[in-house]
Amino acid sequence: MPIIFDGAVEPDDLTTYVRGIPMPSELTLLNTMPTRHLQTNTVNFAEIVRTNRTARFRSFDGRVHVSKRDAGSEKNVSLLPLSSSLQMGEYERLQLEFARLHGGNQAALADAAYNDADILTAQVRNRLEQAWGQVYGTGKLTIAENGFAGEADFGVPANHKVAPSTAWTDTTNAKVLTDIQSWSDTYRATNGFAPGRMKTSLRMLRLAQRNAEVINAVYGAAQGRTRVSITELNDLLLSEGLPTFDDPYETRLDIDDVATRTVGDGVVVFLPSDLTQLGYTAFGVSATALELVNSGKVDLSFENASGIVGVVYKEDGVPFREYTYVDCTAMPILSNARRLMIAQAAPDVEAAA
């Protein structure tokens, strides 16, 4: 499937265009996690076990203490190709019209390719958001699609996958404040500092607002109170030195024509204040980008090859077909799994992808 270098849209232009498309605000996870562009398709990282060691006092002329190095385990994660294409039906219709009229309006042909590139770039980004949702909700990225099956288990500690003794759906008996305190203590014991924020669904946030323990902590054992505001809830948590709730995460994306949550609606995720401490979206160098670099026909250098690219390519055969194609090699990387805690605070009503 050769790339078309002399069409209405050159690969340099289409790649520059797709890389400049603004990120939709609803892709919260992809927007808030940092991005790294790599010149390899394998991520090697060490998960360091920080133990908050101290120095040692000594007497004058006494022996200097020799500290231990932090232990770590090397992990290798291979980035995966992620792409989508559209047969250029409109493009081909315009080509036929121009041929019939002996025209040469390349602008309309280019617009057709750019319009398809908009759609395809959105699809690639949506899939990365789904992938981040799975990592947030499970600590793993499990893929079984399009002929590939595999799993990247980032090693979230077992005691960072928790559940309450009473589900938060029981607003009378559940101990929301006590649960958050207990889980934050576990997080602090692992990391040396408390989590800075929590991310959850609107459903779980509303259950926390209606929880009896929370209401009593805000108002005392006052009669007639049925809920607290989100501001009051977060003020209470802040006063107790606990993480506060982010805006509810409600992103749903299309999977096989079904709007599907990216994170289950019963999950509460504990995160560091600074998400750069947690992980990043890694972009490597795709086979398409290498083809462009090696072609000698574009200005794309190997140093700039990492990231999403867009091309028009042709498929020989009967009938002849041309496609707009957006390609990358990318995936979420949870580089410090100890800084993620996943609480299944209630059974999911809407399952995640």
Q: What is the pLDDT of residues 31-82, one digit of tens each?
A: 999 999 998 888 875 544 444 555 656 655 556 555 555 444 556 677 888 8
Q: Within 10 Å of residue 135's Cβ, how many Cβ atoms?
A: 28
pTM: 0.86
**68: its two tokens:** 């231990």
Q: What is the pLDDT of residue 324?
A: 86
- Is the CB of residue 18 less than 8 Å from the CB of residue 326? yes
Q: What is the pLDDT of residue 160?
A: 97
Residue-wise pLDDT tens for the chain (353 aa)? 688 877 778 888 899 999 999 999 999 999 999 999 998 888 875 544 444 555 656 655 556 555 555 444 556 677 888 888 887 655 555 555 555 545 555 666 677 788 889 999 999 999 999 999 999 999 998 887 777 778 888 889 999 999 999 999 999 999 999 999 999 999 999 999 999 999 999 999 999 999 999 999 999 876 788 999 999 999 999 999 999 999 999 999 987 788 889 999 999 999 999 999 999 999 999 999 999 999 888 888 889 999 999 998 877 654 567 788 899 999 999 989 999 999 999 999 987 76
- CA distances 343 to 108, 242, 279, Å, are 52, 15, 19
Q: What is the pLDDT of residue 84?
A: 87
Helix (H) or strand (E) holding 233: helix 230-239
Q: Tell me the C-alpha distance between 8 and 314, whole Å.
A: 13
Q: Can you state the percent helix, strand and coil of the chain, rounding each to 5? A: 35, 25, 40
Q: Tell me the C-alpha distance between 316 and 310, whole Å.
A: 20
- Is the CB of residue 179 less than 8 Å from the CB of residue 219? no
- Is the CB of residue 236 less than 8 Å from the CB of residue 112? no
* Alpha helices (H) in 102-162, listed in sequence order: 106-138
CATH superfamily for 11-47+75-154+279-333 is putative capsid protein of prophage domain like (3.15.30.10)
- Is the CB of residue 114 less than 8 Å from the CB of residue 18? no
Q: Tell me the C-alpha distance between 206 and 201, whole Å.
A: 9
**94: its two tokens:** 């315009």
Helix (H) or strand (E) holding 48: strand 42-48
- Is the CB of residue 265 less than 8 Å from the CB of residue 350? yes
- Which residue ranges make up each domain of the chain? 11-47+75-154+279-333
Residue 177, classed as helix, strand or coil, is helix
First to last CA, the chain: 32
Q: What is the pLDDT of residue 340?
A: 98
